[in-house]
Amino acid sequence: MKSDENYPEVNFLYLNEQDMIKAGVEDMAGCINTMNELFSLIGKGDYRMGGPNGNEHGIMMKFPKESDVEGMPLLGPDYRFVAMPAYVGGDFRLCGIKCYGSNQLNREKKLPRSILMLTLMDMYTGVPVAYMSANVLSAMRTGAVPGLGARYLSVKDPKTVAVIGPGVMGRTAILAFVTEKPGITTVKIKGRGQKSIDDFIAFCREKCPNIKDFIQCKTEEEACRDSDIVYFGTTNAPVYEDNPHAEAAWLKPGALVMSTSALLLDHDFLADTKHCKLVSDNSKMYEGWAVGAELPAQKSVSTLLGMAFYDVVAEGKLPKSGVTDIGDIINGKASGRTSEDQIIVYAVGGMPVEDVAWGYKVLQNAKKKGIGTPLNLWNTPEFA
């Protein structure tokens, strides 16, 4: 029942995908700068995510492989639902939850594999501030974090980039690379199908006019060789051995290797501090994922690069201090590249704090430009 006490009216702003685009969600330079702000805050501990250690990627729900329950959905490729809560401090000072459903079969219905939404909330009351389409936002921040890596970790003037996995993540990553390093002129592409390669090249011709040469590669080795930046953006394969991999012998001196998804690298190479430096977006996130997991007897079953870093440490091949977080490099607490010949391996796992930070910036632009639809939650709450 309603009481006689006066409660504040609550309204929030709804931004659909076109609203987000009009408000500047595709501004890669702005997104990279926002990620720079964010990772500086992460390095200072001024953030929070889910889980006991405040560093979990999110909570995931999957369906069973088989079930006796009538009508129960069954597990399929990339079929999951995820909620990703986060708090960002600094000048942002708000909370948010990105939620998405993913199903590879969406392609048959001409839908994106994942459909994402972001809710921004007051950090004290939980009052919604905005509800926004997050597919483009998520794609942009996913590319911006590799772009941040190029800013701090690549050689001074990279010319050639390899993209293994020329999908949406590959497109926003190359956009971020050329935004940070406009001297890039050559892209080597390894994809699973010709259509994705053609779409990637068309995207580059429109968005990255400085790129002059496109080289299609049949193997990961061909893509890696002579590349200054090597980017892996493929999804996990059902069989461990089928995941993309790279070998030390394929990498030129000074190469920056990174992955936003699956990548297999030899653990002895990762532990070789004379020739290889490991940089993580947030090592605490991978440590949190590993809690309770038993170390495999012979080889890691981790396909995510950041987890492979953790495995190398757990195997005793590298001290914990052998993994440097990008936030510490930004804040001057740790060194980045120490020579033009040093190979750097950079792990990017994706975090909801990135969505909250970029969502906040886009929201401010939307408010300035009068973009979006105001929605009313209540004039007076029914129960209070």
pLDDT at residue 238, as a whole number: 74
**What is the rounded CA–CA span in Å between residue 346 and residue 49?**
21
pLDDT at 300 over 80: no
Percent pLDDT > 90 in the chain is 85
User: pLDDT (tens digit, 9 = 90+) per residue, 74-91?
Assistant: 999 889 999 999 999 999
Nearest CA among 364, 354, 366 for reference residue 21: 366
pLDDT at residue 299, as a whole number: 45
pTM greater than 0.85 (yes/no): yes
